[in-house]
Structure 1
């Protein structure tokens, strides 16, 4: 009989419980669509590309300008379980925030195993430190999807951050450390404690925790548990189950200026026009 290692699951069951791509019939086709839509967005919008915020090869960001010098800023951190994907694949997501009057910054960061979780978290902090003196009074919403949702939640207490949108995030790293996702991450016990947002809840910016209503149960549970823990701690946190969306369709909702996430974010007090 196989040994259970987490919430009654074997390692194989745990790997399946966190395999977002495993549910898709054609994940490569989905990514081709994302890239094509993103390429079209780059071609039709003003963007300063690969702006540096640090010395590392991937410590860069792309800045889409709305044309308003006082526009609020929406920073988006892509997912990929901290070990895959690039910012350029997700430029299409900027359509929604830009239609609401934001500048949009796509953040890049070093991936595992070239960087540890501690280093990856620190890189996003470095990006925010870099942006802070350049805000000129503009409000900044820090958003991220999947691994990016985790990284956004980790920095909700940064002084530059006015609001947070954590989409389909991972807020407790313990189950990640027990499965195949840890082969590249090599999470330590200290990192699980220090880099799990649910374990280090403190005062921070108002936050919307969003997750697709049709996502894997473990992803939904992670968002539900984290939002509830934040509320118990007295933090201003709203929870949204995005109707009709799986782990990737939530990005289509984000790209829609009238979508559930941006609508809920406006109600949270996010910078809006």
Structure 2
């Protein structure tokens, strides 16, 4: 049985086609507004996509937020999401947004290794605590990267918060979708790359966010991940898979308060 419709987001969101160009326009305007405070395309690896954008707050940063974009590991790059740095920047945090190679040129396991390399590079340029957040596939990546076999211990020990937004935390259902022709997962890889099968990182506060209007499969994914990691679960009313990330741009949102552990 195909699970294509279960994981099809755009087909079930009114006006879904308008979101990607809207994100890209908002992101470009945001980068322009920052001027020299926006460092674009810092390299962390050998390919053209292994780069990150770094946004500096005014004054000395209180810490660094790292946002990892989604797109089912096969679409988008960081340049469409720059505007989501606004919330953390306003609170005095630096924000880094890595891009990464996409499937099928890279496997999901290789992408996880790239995010680890990006974090190592970002951590080497910064001081203080690190907060990780990611959306959809990015929600899987910010959890998966906490594997001690991927991330250097000194970097892992600086991570204090993880906010995983609408994550695909169990990859086994994707074996029953046509997108797996691009993702290239087999049973062993799906099990290995699923955060639900990992031990939760010690000493890190983890929260899972999902929109109440998302596909049932995403609600199940969020609930399963929350149970597996003992993480707090936020189910946001009147919110779907595409607008669930918007509170990252709002310095007064509950999502930002959670990400930055603001009491």
Partners of 1:27 and 1:70 in 2: how far apart? 35
Alignment match, 1:192: 190
Please name the residue that 1:206 is paired with: 205
CA–CA distance in 1 between the matches of 2:215 and 2:123?
Answer: 36
| Distance (whole Å) between structure 2 residues aligned to residue 203 and residue 75 of structure 1 | 17
Residues 1:242 and 2:233 are matched in the alignment: no
Partner of 1:93: 84
Moved more, 156-165 or 35-44: 156-165
Q: Secondary structure at the match of 1:123?
A: helix
Q: Which consecutive unaligned segments of at least 5 residues does structure 1 have?
A: 1-9, 232-236
Query: How much does 1:159 deviate?
Result: 3.1
State the match for 2:134 in structure 1. Answer: 144
The 2-side partners of 1:71 and 1:65 are apart by 11
- Matching of residues 1-80 of structure 1 within 5 Å: 10-11=1-2, 14-45=3-34, 46-80=37-71
1:114 aligns with 2:105: yes
Mean CA deviation greater in 88-97 or 254-263: 254-263
Q: Deviations over 1:185-208 (max 9, x none)?
A: 110222112110001224342111
Deviations 1:7-37 (A, max 9, x none): xxx31xx111111111134333221111111
**What is the DSSP-based 3-state SS (H/G/I as helix, E as strand, rest coil) of the residue aligned with 1:208?**
strand
Q: TM-score, normalised by structure 2?
A: 0.90
| CA distance, structure 1, for counterparts of residue 38 and residue 120 of structure 2 | 21
C-alpha change, 1:212 and 1:19, in structure 2 (3 Å) is same
Per the alignment, residue 135 of structure 1 pairs with: 126
Say whether the 8 Å CA contact 1:208–1:239 is kept in structure 2.
Answer: yes
The number of aligned residues is: 252
Q: Which residue of 1 aligns with 2:175?
A: 177
What's the counterpart of residue 216 of structure 2? 217
Q: State the 1:86 CA deviation.
A: 1.4
Contact 2:43–2:50 (CA under 8 A) maintained in structure 1: yes
The equivalent residue for 2:152 is: none
Task: Tell whether the 8 Å contact from 1:78 to 1:148 is kept in structure 2 after alignment.
Answer: yes
SS in 2 for 1:169: coil
**Which consecutive residues of structure 2, in runs of 5 or more, have no partner in the other structure?**
148-155
Distance 1:242 1:101 in 2: 26
After superposition, the CA RMSD in angstroms is 1.6
Displacement of 1:134? 2.5
Match of 1:159 in 2: 157
**Structure 2 Cα separation of the partners of residues 43 and 70 of structure 1:** 20
CA-CA distance at 1:101 after TM superposition: 1.6
CA distance in structure 2 between the partners assigned to 1:254 and 1:243 by the alignment: 16
